[in-house]
Structure 1
Amino acid sequence: MTHSPELPRALLETGINGMAKVRAPGGDGRPVILIRSSLWKAGTEQTPWHDVFDMDNGHVRYFGDHKATSTVEPGRANGNTALLDAFTGHQGHTSEERAGAVPLLLFRAASRSGKVKGHVEFCGLGAIERAEQLVQWSGSEHTTFTNYVYDIALIDLTQEDDKDSWEWIDARRNKSVSNMASLELAPQAWRELVKHGNSALLRLRRRVARAKVTKVPEQRPAPDSTEAKDLEPIYKYFDGRKHEFEAVASAVASHVLRGAGNSYVEEWLTPRSGDGGADFVGRLDIGSGLAGTSLVVLGQAKCVKLDNLVTAEQIARVVARLRRGWIDVFDTTGAYSVPAQTEMVEDQYPIVLINGMDLARELRSMAGDNHGGDLEACIEHILTVRETAVTNRRPEEILLE
């Protein structure tokens, strides 16, 4: 994967592997620094420090290579020298300075077939945010020593399918290729970092939550699709009588939860005022007997214009009402903003989100099962024949039934 024809091979023998500098147009530059962490060695005499790899939040805290037995100053240890030099580049004031910044490729030891030695996994592309000196305990020698620790931001590689092309590093090793020219082969987020600087790290940092977030256009039904043709009349049906939409939202929530093979009991709707922030209440039963438990389900129903978005603030208000052992189902004819979804995923909120496209799809399925595909007949059945009781009871009472 790291083979460069006619060039010395990339090394990963030590913790900090700074590739030899290259004299290229614009000055000398180091093509890359390969960082390896053997987490299984943490706390040993050989490796007294504890590196932290928080992959989900794009953060690595990595300790330098100065040790209690070192005879040079902390900043003059080979690895620290390379990383401190890289840090200067990462903090460059202009895009030209940052174009020459050394990329960090991070790896960590991986267990394979029960063996912890000999295998590594690629953890990402990084840039140093902070470097600081600290005093460390040296382990069995019962002494202390000074070292550097680095806070490294992992850069988002979503556009590259979480991979980094070695062609970019090859270009940086080519004496005839300038830093700006090699930048064309760099990952998109790295190019953005070079262009805008550290102020852009907040949006360029790797976040696993992003993989679980659906962009707003993807939540909208395609024009002329069945969902698009259904969603418009659904909204118009309840325009001016939004409270009745709560019964439909409750029925859809029941269809979604039961469709996943769960045992769900649809209970009651709340009055128009004094509902405590919930529009409907249900109970999700998991297991049975001693091997079972029940969860309170609070439901939210928002019949809004089809181009409206549920915001992060609205999600936060819902979460504030949840107690331990409660979950929420949020139905809307609109869609959910990216910040709302991101906050929900990162903070692990127990919420089921049903957007307008999914709502139309579920109702169409219900209509096909029991009403010959007649969507309006399905809605009328929910509002009349299947009418759910309206009561002002406390949600926790459902657990007593």
Structure 2
Amino acid sequence: MADYGREYVVNKTYRSSSDATKDQFQKWLNGPIDNGIRNSGGIRSITNPDTGKREFLVFVSDSGASQTQNPWEDVINMEEGIVRYWGDAKARHTPHPETATGNGWVKDDYCRTYAQNDRPNAPPVLLFEKPESGKVTFRGVCIITDLRIERHRDNGETVVNYLFELAILNANSIDLEWVHRKARTGVDVGGPDAWNRWVREGRIQRYSIYKDSIRSKEGQDPEGREADLLEDIRERLDDPNKGEKLEVLIQFLMEGLKNFSNVELTPESGDRGVDLTGQVDLFSDRPLRGVDTKIEFKAQVKNRGSSISGKELSRLASRVDDGEIGLFFTTSHYTRSAQRENLSTYPVRLFSGGDLVELLFQTDLADNGKLTDEVVEDIHEEVG
């Protein structure tokens, strides 16, 4: 009987051993299956013993150190859930990519199911990466999105190979009971939600290591008295053309925090997308002799109701020099695509309307769900 309850967790590393008592790869995958994977090359299959149908494809990418240059480097992009995986025809003595058994399997399954949009019969791809001998890291359950032939010049000779493009689905783990049941019976029950949705609707939900850091619009908007404070800010600091009043409020906020210093508004005529500059001290409570613990920052401020796009974040990021950070404040929220782009590309920290009012409630600039009259008067006086 299978030892159910086992699962593969994305980005977790497991033992691959010839000792069955220690093996967490071949032994775990095969379980009670007679036609499971074998100790072979990069592409393997798990086949239904009664029908001969490949219920799963298993791709193993070898990322271990090599003494020679490898022209067939796989690309596993966990940030965006994208994979470029080279087939098994990686030698000059392989005249045609289909000569490699694994390549033939994948081409047949792709053309028969994926390319025909026959999703219920398409075999999921279980992707592993081999960082070193005796270890495999699970990278997720995938679907095949494209297949094409590529040529590479190696020592003056042309090598032909398949290049498979995969989408890593948005699943944190897979239950081995799903693998074993589907492989033995063909019944697809117990798979991850992202796989089930793709089979049912054709919708691809890609995995991203940043997904837990991406906030919804609702997650960025305030509630209760914090929502009242945000509405008060929009009404009393309404400045649609320039937003300078909110910039002054952010300056006051920073000046009240002990780890910020030298906070200044940039000249209105030439800010080039930067509204505030200053320094933030990493160890303001623990000064160090001879070590500069301050980081220069550049900040942009937007007082509006519409969302912030990646284009606006890139504008600030282009002004941030090496060793600096960017700070972006808005009374609205950031789109999901802007957050993904920022997390993977820019040295910018994002503060939504909800974050802003949460900070203000921890100062004496706000009281009872509103900005104090004193701070509003000071802002108007500062702006003139």
Q: TM-score range by the shorter chain?
A: 0.7 to 0.9
Over 3 Å counting, the alpha-carbon distance change for 1:304 and 1:71 in structure 2 is: closer
Residue 253 of structure 1: how far off its partner (Å)? 4.3
Equivalent residue for 1:189, pick from 181, 188, 194:
194
Residue 123 of structure 1: how far off its partner (Å)? 1.0
Give the whole-Å Cα distance in 2 for the aligned partners of 1:364 and 1:53.
43
Which of the pair is proportionally richer in helix?
1
Over 3 Å counting, the alpha-carbon distance change for 1:267 and 1:143 in structure 2 is: closer
Alignment pair present for 1:235 and 2:234: yes
Give the structure 2 partner of residue 210 of structure 1. Answer: 211
Residue 364 of structure 1: how far off its partner (Å)? 0.8
Give the structure 2 partner of residue 169 of structure 1. Answer: 179
Give the structure 1 partner of residue 343 of structure 2. Answer: 345
Residue 3 of structure 1: how far off its partner (Å)? 5.6
Q: Which runs of 5+ in 2 are unaligned?
A: 1-5, 7-27
Give the whole-Å Cα distance in 2 for the aligned partners of 1:51 and 1:43.
17
Give the structure 1 partner of residue 99 of structure 2. Answer: 76
Over 3 Å counting, the alpha-carbon distance change for 1:346 and 1:68 in structure 2 is: closer
Equivalent residue for 2:63, pick from 12, 15, 39:
39
Matches within 5 A, 1:1-400: 1=6, 2=28, 6-8=32-34, 10-11=36-37, 13-14=39-40, 15-21=42-48, 29-40=53-64, 42=66, 49-66=72-89, 68=91, 73-89=96-112, 91-94=114-117, 97-110=118-131, 116-128=132-144, 129-135=146-152, 137=154, 144=157, 146-157=159-170, 160=171, 162-175=172-185, 177=187, 182=188, 184-195=189-200, 201=204, 204-222=205-223, 224=224, 226-239=225-238, 242-253=243-254, 258=258, 263-270=259-266, 273-284=269-280, 291-292=291-292, 295-305=295-305, 308-347=306-345, 349-367=346-364, 380-381=374-375, 384=378
Aligned-pair identity in percent equals 25
Residue 91 of structure 1: how far off its partner (Å)? 3.5
- Aligned residue for 1:173, secondary structure, equals helix
Residue 339 of structure 1: how far off its partner (Å)? 1.7
Give the whole-Å Cα distance in 1 for the aligned partners of 2:275 and 2:97.
61
- Aligned residue for 2:215, secondary structure, equals coil
Give the structure 1 partner of residue 13 of structure 2. Answer: none
Q: Deviations over 1:249-290 (max 9, x none)?
A: 12334567x5xxxx4314322455554333222234568776
**1:267–1:389: 8 Å Cα contact kept in structure 2?**
no
- Aligned residue for 2:83, secondary structure, equals strand
**1:103–1:126: 8 Å Cα contact kept in structure 2?**
yes
Give the whole-Å Cα distance in 2 for the aligned partners of 1:135 and 1:67.
10
- The TM-score, its normalising length taken from structure 1, stands at 0.73
Letter aligned with residue 93 of structure 1: Q
Letter aligned with residue 122 of structure 1: F
Residue 345 of structure 1: how far off its partner (Å)? 1.3
Residue 311 of structure 1: how far off its partner (Å)? 2.2
**2:81–2:168: 8 Å Cα contact kept in structure 1?**
yes
- The TM-score, its normalising length taken from structure 2, stands at 0.75
- Aligned residue for 1:304, secondary structure, equals coil
Residue 216 of structure 1: how far off its partner (Å)? 1.0
Over 3 Å counting, the alpha-carbon distance change for 1:62 and 1:4 in structure 2 is: closer
**1:344–1:351: 8 Å Cα contact kept in structure 2?**
yes
Question: CA RMSD, aligned part only?
Answer: 3.7
- Aligned residue for 2:55, secondary structure, equals coil
Letter aligned with residue 335 of structure 2: S
